[in-house]
Structure formats: structure tokens, C-alpha cells
Amino acid sequence: MRNKTALILAALAWAKPAAADEARFHATAGAAHAVGGTQQSEFGTGGGGSGTIELAVGNVMGVQASAGALVLSAGSAPSDASVAKQSTGSAFLGTVGVRFRPLGASRVAGPWIDANGGVAQTGDLSRLAVDAHVGWDFRVSDKTRWDVGPFIGFTQIMQPDVAFRPDDAHIAWAGIQLSLGASEKPRALPPPPRDMQPPPPVQETDGVAEVEDLCPPVDADGEVPEGCPGHVVKLENDRLVLDDVIHFEFNSPKIRRQSRGLVRKVAQFINETPDITDVSIEGHADARGTEEYNQKLSEERAASTRAMLVEFGSDESRLHIVGHGKSQLKIVTMLPEARNRRVEFIVVRTHEVAGPPVAPSSPRVASGKRGQP
């Protein structure tokens, strides 16, 4: 029996998940008691646990294999004096089955139900067994895959009609499940309405009149109104230093329209600086989502920046893209921080420019707007 269970678990562990999702692991522990028939009184309260490996098939269903054991304490003597009193009862179970998550399409934790069938080993006897459980998982933290929650269950171990006492064993369970569940996946936000206006400018309260205070917001194309300060782009050693980051939509390589003017300024600077021979456009993403997803997203953001620079007249052959994913956060946070969704510009020049060396830990794109870090 134990060898059969081990083979089932090994086969599922090496199988390729149908939905390319991570394998999920569940461990349960709880109290158990026989219900119905003579076993309800002849056995007392006991407990047990199980370990399960699950392979997801889509978001709401998975196939699984489990191995577990239960022990029931001795209860009252049988009412039939010809039957000896039972000692403690035990069983080892190996099952396969399916698990359903009704809310799996929209969340990684939540309610679940499973149904399983297999074999129970009780002493020297092997019997067919079925069980089912209902539970509710709660995600411990959005930074981990750990879930925990309560469950209730029912196990039936079948006895053949030719047995001395052919009554099936019925065991009720209640306990806690600890799981290594599914990873959080980034959720795409709906695009903003086309006619959405930029937010109103922040009103200064320091009592000092400044040119920026009197300027209206940039227009829909990112242009700074006439007479107002424009974006600043500087060349320091091997990098372009900007007065702001290029802002992207959340979970998207699309550049926000408020940054078109800054990209135009970068293109103008590159075009007017003849000793810049190559520009490495290096994309970054924020901390939400998987490593693979953010790596792809950072490359797409670098590519969309290159496309806009070409739109504004830069030579595409001088522009190269690199993606860093979420490996170089500017602001360490799990929130969708706009300053982490950025690109940086590293340049190759035809001659060395004298100046103090830049520390390796310095950020490649400076965000120097007044009132921001």
C-alpha cells in the first residue's frame, strides 16, 4: 500500500501542469471521530493529518494525490457481549482526486472543495476508501504563497458484505490546512477614458509666488505651455539625467501622455549631441508580479520608449534596449510605484568626458522634481 501511494505521488510531482502553473502543496491536521453505527461508541475521539500535492488545471480546478493517516482512541465496550472490545483504531490512506475553487478565476485563496478515492490500510487489510473536504484558505501575506484556513471533511472506509461486521467506517473531520498556494498575478487595469483630463495642479501654500505655480498643466501631447519652464535633460559622464522619470501606465508598456514632452526633449538632446554614438534604453518594472512577467514588461517599456524617440526623429540604429525587470527598484515597495516603472538612458560617446566618477550605487536616471525625492 505504501509503495502504491509513493508511486502515485511521484508521478504527479513530475507531471507537467496543464495550465503551466506552480505545483501546490497542502498539509492538514485535525480532530476525527467515527459517526453512525456501532463504531461511533466503540471508538473515541482521535485525529490525523495528510499531505497533498496538487497540479492546477486552469484557475478553478486541480488534480491531486494525497497520503494520510488517522488514529481513533478506544471507546465503550460493544453491546454484544460476544464481540471483544476494540482497542485504538488506525488507518493509512492513499488517494487521488480533484479540487475545485469557485472563486479561483479572480483570487488565489478562498473557498475550496475536493473529492478523492483510493485505498485505506487498516492492520493487515486493504479497503476501498473515499473522502471529501470543504475549506476556506486565507492568504497570509501578498509577499508569499502561504495560505492557511479551516476545513471539515468526511472519510468512508468500505467493508465487504462478507466481513464479520460489514458496516462501513464513517469518520468526520475538522481541522486546519496549511498550503503553498498559487502566486499572485498582476491584474490589468482598464484603460483610462480618452477624454480624461489631467488632474488639477497642486495649489502652493508656502506664500511664495513661483513661475511653476502660475503655469497651467501640460497639454494632451505633453507640451509645456509657452513661457513656462520646460523639461531639463543633461549629460553626465555616460548617462542622461532627467528632471523626471518617463511615466508608464500600470501593468502596461504604454507611455503616459504627460511624458511625451520629456521623451521629445530626450530625442532633441540626442539629435543635437553629435558625439553620442549609441544609447542603451534600460527598462524597469515595479515589484508586483513574477520575475518572468516583469522582465518581459521592462523590455516592452524600453521598446516603446525607443519607438517614441524614433517618432521624434532619433536614429533607430543608435538606440538599443535592455530590460532589468524588478531587480533594480528605485523605491522599495510592493505598491504600484510610478517611479519604479521607468527607463534609464546610458550613452556611448566618441570621446571621454572629464569629471568625477559616478558611484556604482547611483541611480541611472535622476528624479529631480521640486518637492520629490
- pLDDT of the residue at 218: 55
Neighbours of 291 (CB within 10 A): 11
- pLDDT of the residue at 235: 86
- pLDDT of the residue at 248: 81
Residue 86, CB half-sphere, CA atoms under 13 Å: how many? 20
**Weakly modelled stretches of the chain, pLDDT under 50:** 11-20, 201-213, 353-373
List Cα–Cα distances, 231 to 116, 261, 266, in angstroms: 64, 8, 9
- pLDDT of the residue at 250: 76
Dihedral sign of CA atoms 241, 245, 251, 254 in order: negative
- pLDDT of the residue at 94: 95
Q: Which three three-digit cell numbers place residue 224? A: 509645456
* C-alpha span between 42 and 93 (Å, rounded): 21
* C-alpha span between 306 and 350 (Å, rounded): 21
In the three-class reduction of DSSP (H, G, I as helix; E, B as strand; rest coil), residue 219 is classed as coil
Residue matched to cell numbers 479561483: 104
Cβ–Cβ under 8 Å, residues 270 and 318: yes
* C-alpha span between 100 and 116 (Å, rounded): 12
Contacts of 16 by beta carbon, 8 Å cutoff, 6+ apart: none
- pLDDT of the residue at 372: 33
List, in order of start, the domains of the chain with CATH numbers.
2-180 (2.40.160.20), 217-349 (3.30.1330.60)
Segment 318-350, tens digit of pLDDT: 899 999 888 888 888 877 777 787 889 999 877
